[in-house]
Chains A and B, each alone.
Chain A
Amino acid sequence: MSEDSDAKLIARFRSGDESALNAIFARYEVQLFQFLFGILRNHHQAEDALQETLVRALEHLDGVDSGHLRGWLFTVAYHQAMLVKRRLKKQFASMDDQDGTVSDEEPGPLFQVEREDDARRLRELLEQLPPGQREVIRQRVYEGKRFREIAETLGCPLNTALARMHEGLKRLRLLWEQNHA
């Protein structure tokens, strides 16, 4: 990945340097994609929105302060995601879609474990977590329960269940990275 600052990348891009575009992609595409995926919850829609986001953001780069490229890209991505959501809502309104949300054709990442090998390793790592966190993750990932149901089952407030999930996943990521390093 390019070590150039955002300001330098913008200057290179404006001067027509194609490699600057690659550096911008490499620096921001994953985060922007995750952000869009978080809003749209659909891989293809998130990908289309990412494409449009980058085209629009780079076309209107002239007025952007070079120190705010990150914020600018996220702002454009946000507006693009909202645009897609509004379009979908209109489309689905006629089909009596109750909440207008769109689910991915692919199984949700929280509910499906596709790769058996990784799943086995994950179960092993899960055992290293504190029981409270482990239980929330287990019920969510392996039993596919909603957070409200988990909170009810465990007899704790919703926010506590969510906090345990968040902390558990954070630790799980650390363990995963250590395991795969």
Chain B
Amino acid sequence: MLDEPKPGDSPSDLSVQALLYASGEMEAAEAAAFEQRLGEDQAAREALCQAVEFATLASGQAPPTPDPAYRDRVRATLRQRRRHMKKLVGQPPTFGPIALWMALGAIAAILMMLVLTHMASMHQHNEPPTHPRPTTAPQSEQPAPMPERVDAHSRLLPPPIFA
């Protein structure tokens, strides 16, 4: 028979906790805390693996292992998803890139319009006038009608009703 364990031989608190957790006998709050620890503590994860392995061994069974067929399923899924990704990459640009080009085109058109408008207004302000604008002369400066024109004008008037 083997010796009783010495005081220093006692398993770590983590191993004991893992054993209790794996047995499903941990209190709900404690189990939740241990599960949280499993999320970030690799030592706790390893302790759980060991607890499962030990527990299985105690029943005289080999440690639990997955059915090797799962490997083929992993391979098939990975291949399928890779093909799908390749297909996506090989396809002509879809709505995303088209929308991007449309937006860029719209921005370019607006910029072009702004530049043209600006250039046109600059052109109007800076260019010396080649043809003087017809100015409306003041009333007093209007040339007097020529006498023959006056006559012609008077001929067109109706005869006076009251002489």
A16: min CB distance to chain B, Å: 9
Q: Count of A-B contacts with CB under 8 A?
A: 160
Q: Which of chain A's residues have a CB closer than 8 A to the CB of B66?
A: 29, 33, 46-47, 50
Pair B65/A173 contact, Cβ less than 8 Å? no
Per-residue CB proximity of B62-87 to A under 8 Å, as 1/0?
Answer: 01111100110111011001000000
CB pair A130 B3 closer than 8 Å: yes
Chain B residues with Cβ below 8 Å from A47 are 66-67, 70
Contact A35 B49 (CB under 8 A): yes
Instruction: Give the residue name and chain of the B residue nearest to A31 (CB).
Output: B49
Q: Which residues of chain A (115-162) have a CB below 8 Å from chain B?
A: 115, 118-119, 121-122, 127-133, 137, 140-141, 146-148, 158-159, 162
- Cβ A38 vs Cβ B65 within 8 A: no
Size band of the B side of the interface? 35 or more
Contact residues in B for A122 (Cβ distance below 8 Å):
58-60
Whether the pair B39, A163 counts as a contact (CB closer than 8 A) is no
Contact partners of A2 in chain B: CB under 8 A: none
A109 to B3, CA, bound (A): 27
Q: Which of A12-66 contact B (CB under 8 A)?
A: 18, 21-22, 25, 29-31, 33-35, 37-39, 41, 43, 46-47, 50-51, 54-55, 58-59
